[in-house]
Amino acid sequence: MTRTAFYVSDGTAITAETIGHATLSQYDFTIEHITVPFIESDEKANLLKEQINRRFKTTGHRPFVFHTFVDKSLAEKIADSHSICFDVLEPFSKVISDKLNVPANPVKHRTHSIKEHKYDARIEAMNFALTNDDGQTTDNYKDADVILVGVSRSGKTPTSIYLALQYGIKAANYPFTEDDMEDFKLSAVLKENKRKIFGLTIEPNRLAAIRNERYANSKYASLRQCRMELREVERMYKGNKIPFINTTHFSVEEISAKIISAMKLARHNH
Amino acid sequence: MTRTAFYVSDGTAITAETIGHATLSQYDFTIEHITVPFIESDEKANLLKEQINRRFKTTGHRPFVFHTFVDKSLAEKIADSHSICFDVLEPFSKVISDKLNVPANPVKHRTHSIKEHKYDARIEAMNFALTNDDGQTTDNYKDADVILVGVSRSGKTPTSIYLALQYGIKAANYPFTEDDMEDFKLSAVLKENKRKIFGLTIEPNRLAAIRNERYANSKYASLRQCRMELREVERMYKGNKIPFINTTHFSVEEISAKIISAMKLARHNH
């Protein structure tokens, strides 16, 4: 049985999507997901209401609707559809307003917009991550919040970018290659910034699989090579007391959250 | 008056952060935000409860706590603190379970983890965005979902990466330079993929400011040069019926949502 979920807002609908996804992930329904951002007029709200009602008619199930509207008259139109409809901020703001005796004062585009606090910091951090990706330059390490190190394809780049985009954290990253490993010491610039360094590692089989997608059957992608490189970097991490994690079973979101905790980094998304 | 908000989970706490931020953005409180992910043991939960209670004692205000726990015994420990405490999925799953007579069955790390549906698609899309950034290559346009075009520093790269990371959309991007504008025509490869092209533009003053941060007082950053380039690309968009938006007042989240709607792209985060 397939059900339909609508995520709706007069903004980006990102908050509605996040809470809707998380809620529905607790059930075994098969869901068709429909995100509808920028419902900013009566006309758009009416069209959406018709779409929701059509979906009810054709499937025989009331669709789920998760919405965040600043304009409450638009919210009412949507709530008036044949749906199981949730105003996703209301349960919390109702309690806060009641307990503290302050009214909620929703302002359009206060989240996920350019007016958001720290928006520029996030874009600046993303540019930092791209400029300082893959050891392209080591000149800016004094400005870095964290320097991720690890062998090629161990997850440094996606993690650096996620830290920037989500949290406004300036993450550089530096790859260790076989050439570094002969007499494996941290270079001068890494030594100077040692307290910023965080290491990534990964299981050899997984690394070999990832590298094979890029350069099939190369020495670079061989299990033997991956094992050697990982053994060397892990030994170096331990010898230099560099904190590190094994990324094999974690998403970039999880890896990022763990790095933030371990390095006590400030989140700039607040 | 500063209040404290805790965002807490046995996972990344991203859902709790999102809903907590959005809720509190409706009030004029000054908030100190504290995110605490991976509370996965009784010991950690007890320590956090003590931290919340200390905050209550030192400030005289009950902190806000937004949490998502799969392990309900951990949730109970946190709820037992001196706080205004919200289980952020509960109001919705309670209604769904009651109305449809199905129990919620929370599974750990079902969102924001590597087990998440479409996780690999998002990482693949991010690699695609980086490989096909800034016109580095045009060889992969057959695999692109969208090709963003525009002058240098009009927002192509952050938007491409956001589309990838958030939605698993494969976005390439291609910069137009002064050299393209002499006799401004789409190149053969862009013409072949014309239905995938989406244009970005920006106000000349804003563009000049952004370029000046990079290359102060250069011809490239001059208002005159910015005006000329933007006039030419906008004329070209119109002549070729290429859809485009002015990014000046929008965040990457908003620009991305607008592109997805305009190009009818499928979101791969569901």
Say yes or no: B86 and B159 in one domain.
no
Residues 6+ apart with CB under 8 A from B38: A257, A258, A261, B9, B10, B11, B12, B44
Position B117 pLDDT exceeds 70: no
Say yes or no: B13 and B131 in one domain.
no
* Closest chain B residue by Cα to residue A11: B254
- Domain limit, last residue, from B65, B100, B135: B100
Say yes or no: B73 and B170 in one domain.
no
Pick the residue with more confidence: B151 or A269? B151
Q: How far apart are CA A234 and CA B141, in angstroms?
A: 39
Looking at the DSSP assignment, which residues form a beta bridge with residue B8?
A: B36, B67
The SS3 call for residue A247 is coil
Please give the torsion angle defined by the CA atoms of residues B1, B2, B3 and B5, in that order, rounded to the nearest 10 degrees.
Answer: 160
Q: Is A24 part of a structural domain of the chain?
A: yes
ipTM of predicted assembly, 2 dp: 0.90
Q: Tell me whether residues A27 and B249 touch, CB distance under 8 A.
A: no
Q: Is B14 part of a structural domain of the chain?
A: yes
pLDDT tens digits for A135-148? 999 999 999 999 99
- Domain limit, last residue, from B69, B100, B131: B100
Say yes or no: A36 and A65 in one domain.
yes
Q: Is B86 part of a structural domain of the chain?
A: yes
What the block records as the tokens of A107 is 């302002």
Please give the torsion angle defined by the CA atoms of residues A166, A171, A172 and A173, in that order, rounded to the nearest 10 degrees.
Answer: -80
Pick the residue with more confidence: B197 or A70? B197
**Min Cα separation A54/chain B (Å):** 20
- Domain limit, last residue, from B100, B133, B159: B100
DSSP state of A194: G
pLDDT tens digits for A181-239? 988 989 999 999 999 999 999 999 999 999 998 899 999 999 999 999 999 999 999 99
Q: How far is CA A210 from the centre of its chain?
A: 21
List phi, psi (to 5°) of A10.
-85, 0
Q: Is A224 part of a structural domain of the chain?
A: yes
Burial of A146 (0-12, 13-18, 19+ CB in 10 A): buried
Q: Tell me whether residues A14 and B18 touch, CB distance under 8 A.
A: yes
Position A114 pLDDT exceeds 80: no
Position B119 pLDDT exceeds 90: no
Residues 6+ apart with CB under 8 A from A15: A9, A68, A88, A89, A111, A112, B18, B19, B22
Q: Are B202 and B248 in contact (CB under 8 A)?
A: yes
Q: Tell me whether residues A114 and B28 touch, CB distance under 8 A.
A: no
Q: How far apart are CA B10 and CA B6, in angstroms?
A: 13
User: Which amino acid belongs to residue A44?
Assistant: K
User: Lowest mean pLDDT: which of A59-63, A173-177, B97-101, B117-121?
Assistant: B117-121
Q: Is B268 part of a structural domain of the chain?
A: no
Say yes or no: B91 and B135 in one domain.
no
User: Which amino acid belongs to residue B89?
Assistant: L
User: Which amino acid belongs to residue B112?
Assistant: H
Position B110 pLDDT exceeds 80: no
Say yes or no: A63 and A153 in one domain.
no
Q: What is the mean pLDDT of residues B183-205?
A: 95
Q: Which residues in chain A have Cβ-Cβ distances shorter than 8 Å to B158?
A: 123, 126-127, 165
Average pLDDT, chain B: 94
Confidence of residue B182 (pLDDT cuts 50, 70, 90): confident
The SS3 call for residue A245 is strand
Q: Which residues in chain A have Cβ-Cβ distances shorter than 8 Å to B267?
A: 33, 35
Q: Which residues in chain A have Cβ-Cβ distances shorter than 8 Å to B19?
A: 15, 18-19, 88-89, 92
Q: How far apart are CA A255 and CA A161, in angstroms?
A: 12
**How many Cα neighbours within 13 Å face the side chain of A60?**
2
Task: Write down the pLDDT at residue A24.
Answer: 95
Radius of gyration of chain B (CA): 24
Say yes or no: A79 and A128 in one domain.
no
Q: Kindly report the CATH number assigned to the domain that includes residue B172.
A: 3.40.50
Distances in Å between the Cα of A47 and the Cα atoms of A33, A52, A53, A77, B63 are 18, 9, 10, 10, 41
Average pLDDT, chain A: 94
* Closest chain B residue by Cα to residue A120: B251
Confidence of residue A117 (pLDDT cuts 50, 70, 90): low
Query: For chain A, what is the domain count?
Result: 2
The helix-helix angle for A14-24 and B90-100 (nearest 10°) equals 50
Looking at the DSSP assignment, which residues form a beta bridge with residue B33?
A: B5
Position B115 pLDDT exceeds 80: no
Q: Is A269 part of a structural domain of the chain?
A: no
pLDDT tens digits for A60-113? 999 999 999 999 999 999 999 999 999 999 999 999 999 999 999 887 777 777
Q: Tell me whether residues A89 and B22 touch, CB distance under 8 A.
A: yes
Q: Are B242 and B250 in contact (CB under 8 A)?
A: no
Task: Write down the pLDDT at residue B107.
Answer: 79
Q: Is B188 part of a structural domain of the chain?
A: yes
Which residue, A14, A248, A37, is CA-closest to A258?
A: A248
Q: How far apart are CA A85 and CA A81, in angstroms?
A: 8
Residues 6+ apart with CB under 8 A from A8: A16, A35, A36, A37, A39, A48, A65, A66, A67, A69, A78
Task: Write down the pLDDT at residue B114.
Answer: 77
Q: What is the mean pLDDT of residues B126-133?
A: 95
Q: Are A31 and A61 in contact (CB under 8 A)?
A: no
Q: Are A96 and A102 in contact (CB under 8 A)?
A: yes
| H/E stretch holding A207 | helix A204-214
Q: How far apart are CA B112 and CA B114, in angstroms?
A: 7
Say yes or no: A16 and A64 in one domain.
yes
Confidence of residue B108 (pLDDT cuts 50, 70, 90): confident
**How many Cα neighbours within 13 Å face the side chain of B197?**
22
**Min Cα separation A253/chain B (Å):** 6
Q: Tell me whether residues A86 and B95 touch, CB distance under 8 A.
A: yes
* Residue in A102, A251, A258 closest to B116 by CB: A251
Please report, rounded to a whole number, the percentage of residues in chain A having pLDDT higher than 90: 87
Say yes or no: A209 and A126 in one domain.
yes
Q: Which residues in chain A have Cβ-Cβ distances shorter than 8 Å to B38?
A: 257-258, 261
Say yes or no: A169 and A208 in one domain.
yes
Say yes or no: A172 and A52 in one domain.
no
Distances in Å between the Cα of A188 and the Cα atoms of A138, A141, A147, A194, A211 are 10, 12, 14, 10, 29
* Closest chain B residue by Cα to residue A214: B127
Residues 6+ apart with CB under 8 A from B104: A26, A27, B89, B93, B96, B97
Q: What is the mean pLDDT of residues B233-252?
A: 96
Q: Is B114 part of a structural domain of the chain?
A: no
* Residue in B105, B158, B249 closest to A26 by CB: B105
Q: What is the mean pLDDT of residues B239-262?
A: 95
User: What is the domain extent for residue A135?
Assistant: 119-263
Concatenated DSSP letters of A65-121: EEEE-SSHHHHHHHHTSSSEEEETTHHHHHHHHHHHT------TT-SSSTTSTTHHH
The structure tokens 């920028």 sit at: A38
Q: How far apart are CA B71 and CA B42, in angstroms?
A: 10
Q: What is the mean pLDDT of residues B187-191?
A: 95
pLDDT tens digits for B90-103? 999 999 999 999 99
Confidence of residue A125 (pLDDT cuts 50, 70, 90): very high
Q: Are A122 and A161 in contact (CB under 8 A)?
A: no
pLDDT tens digits for B14-51? 999 999 999 999 998 999 999 999 999 999 999 999 99
Say yes or no: B81 and B124 in one domain.
no
